[in-house]
Structure 1
Amino acid sequence: MPRNLPLTAVQAPPRLIGEPFSQFAEEATRIRADQPDTRLIVFPELHLFGDGQPDQQRADALRAAAEPLDGPLLRNLRQLAGDLGVWLIPGSVCESAPGGMLFNTAVVLSPEGEVAASYRKIFPWRPYEPYDPGNSFVTVELPGIGRVGLSICYDAWFPETSRHLAWMGADVIVNIVKTTTPDRAQEVVLARANAIVNQVFMVSLNCAAPPGAGRSLIVDPEGFVLSESENGTPTTLFADLDLTHVDRVRANGTAGYNRMWSQFGANDAPIDMPLYAGRIDPATWTPAASDQRSNR
């Protein structure tokens, strides 16, 4: 059966802390009107948490703006997603948690206005970011469409993140980004590489100038770029993702040859992985099937 995900990725500069929420609501409403067929709208990392011009991302400003996930900001975001009738990833938010902890947290809002998933960035950009690390990989099921894995910026530099999300059944990994530095060139390569080695769609969405480097892109499960921005100019990327492409590539191989998820035979011995104090077990290597998606 068809499993299409029309997706809009908004490469935009961050909005300043303290701006009226109505300004973001108007932005999202315009995007929805421009792309009436879209099912998922995505904004960059910390889109609602800009810290001046130039954007300094000061720890004190971020902590002062942080809220728990049942706070006023999330209530407004839930209302907006319900009003728009789409899946919405409004970037990530500064989440305050007990014990004075601060997380960089991606949230997914459903078309019914519910928090469908939240993900705390596992790999904060150390030593530059003030966030505490999360400890759980997260995917979310879009009923009748497919499964989306959540990733934030520097997570993409650690192959374990994308590999685990793909193993959990993600058809597409959304990596929201706020890169202002020259290493965006490397992140573009990583987006394609993560798509290729895991046979998933990758959405690598960076913020626009100022302050971001832009260069957002959407990549298919064989590493081909479906849509991209060549610079930091504000723009929107749209792609109608055929998620059955993931199933076809895994069955037939990348370029018709490489089937990494079918590497092991039933009688192969486990491979020890001392780095993780664990192992690759052939019995559990295969990702969650498309008709059996679950957070394993």
Structure 2
Amino acid sequence: MPRPLPIALVQAPPRPAGRALAEYAGEVETVLRRFPETRLAAFPELHLCGVDGEGDDRTEQLRAAAQPLHGPRTKQLGELAGDLGIWLAPGTVCEEGDHGELFNTALVFSPRGELAGWYRKVFPWRPHEPYDPGTEFVVADLADAGRVGFSICYDAWFPEVTRHLAWMGAEVVLNPVQTTTPDRVQELVLARANAIVNQVFVASVNTAGPFGMGDSLLVGPEGDVLGALPGPGEGVLAHTIDLDEVARVRREGTAGTNRMWEQFTPADAPLPLPLYQGRIDPDRWRPREGDDR
């Protein structure tokens, strides 16, 4: 049976950290007035932590914007999601770790106002970003909808991230982005490639101009572009995806042909992966399903 998920990807400039939350509720409400069927609203990287400095000054501003994971900002965002009755992915925020770390952390809240999942960026854009790297891949269950995985901006350049999320059962990968550089062109290719080789939806939502390059994109599990916001202008990409398409594509094959997740059989020998000092075990290759996720 179809499992429709109406989503809204919001391409917008970052909000100044000092007054972001005061303005954000109105921003989300405006999106819902335009697209009242939305069940999941997603925003760009660092949407609530806009800063205008460079170098050490920028790092200090980002640290000033950081809060503990379960601090007042998280409480307010949870209350907003609960009041609106939607799944809310407000982009990423600066998180202050238990030992003074600075993490770039994606959040998602449930329609009941609960923090349903969080993910710390594993691959900060070095040497330009000051964040401490996260150490775990993360998926979150959206009750009665599906399973969402998280990657943040530069994470998309590392195929290990989306591959692990798909293996963990993600059906759609949310990729909040704050790309201000010309390589957004390559990121659009990567969004499609990551969707194709893992047979998942990829939602890459970038910051709007004048700060960001825009070009947000929604890709289906066969790599087809389902929607796009070309250029740096502000806008909302609203689309209803059917998460059952992931199972169909894996069952029938991409373009009716390729079934990568069925490549190995239990009779195959493990494949060494020297780069990782590990291996592919055939009996662990397929993505997790149901209660096994």
Q: 1:99 — aligned with what? A: 99
Cα displacement string for residues 132-178 of structure 1 (whole angstroms, at most 9, x for unaligned residues) = 00001100111121100011000000000000000000000000000
Residues 44 and 153 of structure 1: is their aligned pair in 2 closer, same or farther, counting only changes over 3 Å?
Answer: same
Counterpart CA distance in 1 for 2:268 and 2:23 is: 57
2:156 pairs with 1:156: yes
Unaligned runs of at least 5 residues, structure 1: none
**Contact 1:168–1:293 under 8 Å retained in 2:** no
Cα displacement string for residues 8-59 of structure 1 (whole angstroms, at most 9, x for unaligned residues) = 0000000011015221110011111111111100000000111138999810
Q: Which runs of 4+ in 1 moved over 4 A?
A: 53-57
Cα displacement string for residues 50-71 of structure 1 (whole angstroms, at most 9, x for unaligned residues) = 1138999810000011000121
Q: 1:256 — aligned with what? A: 256
Q: 2:229 — aligned with what? A: 229
Q: 1:67 — aligned with what? A: 67
- Sequence identity (%): 57
Unaligned runs of at least 5 residues, structure 2: none
Q: 1:30 — aligned with what? A: 30
Q: Which amino acid aligns with 2:2?
A: P
Counterpart CA distance in 2 for 1:24 and 1:265 is: 50
Cα displacement string for residues 111-132 of structure 1 (whole angstroms, at most 9, x for unaligned residues) = 0001000100000000000000
Counterpart CA distance in 1 for 2:200 and 2:56 is: 34
After TM superposition, give the deviation of residue 183 of structure 1 in Å: 0.3
Q: Which amino acid aligns with 1:292?
A: D
Aligned pairs for 1:94-243 (under 5 A) are 94-243=94-243
Counterpart CA distance in 2 for 1:186 and 1:228 is: 15
Corresponding residue SS for 2:131: coil
Counterpart CA distance in 1 for 2:270 and 2:80 is: 48
2:291 pairs with 1:292: yes
**Contact 1:214–1:233 under 8 Å retained in 2:** yes
After TM superposition, give the deviation of residue 292 of structure 1 in Å: 3.4
Counterpart CA distance in 2 for 1:200 and 1:252 is: 14
Counterpart CA distance in 1 for 2:173 and 2:71 is: 27
After TM superposition, give the deviation of residue 99 of structure 1 in Å: 2.0
Counterpart CA distance in 1 for 2:100 and 2:20 is: 26
Corresponding residue SS for 1:144: coil
After TM superposition, give the deviation of residue 230 of structure 1 in Å: 1.2
Counterpart CA distance in 1 for 2:291 and 2:239 is: 25
**Contact 1:81–1:112 under 8 Å retained in 2:** yes
Corresponding residue SS for 1:36: coil
Q: Cα RMSD over matched residues?
A: 1.5
Q: 1:76 — aligned with what? A: 76
**Contact 2:8–2:238 under 8 Å retained in 1:** yes
**Contact 1:214–1:230 under 8 Å retained in 2:** yes
**Contact 1:13–1:207 under 8 Å retained in 2:** yes
User: What TM-score results when the alignment is normalised by the length of structure 1?
Assistant: 0.96
**How many residues are aligned here?**
293
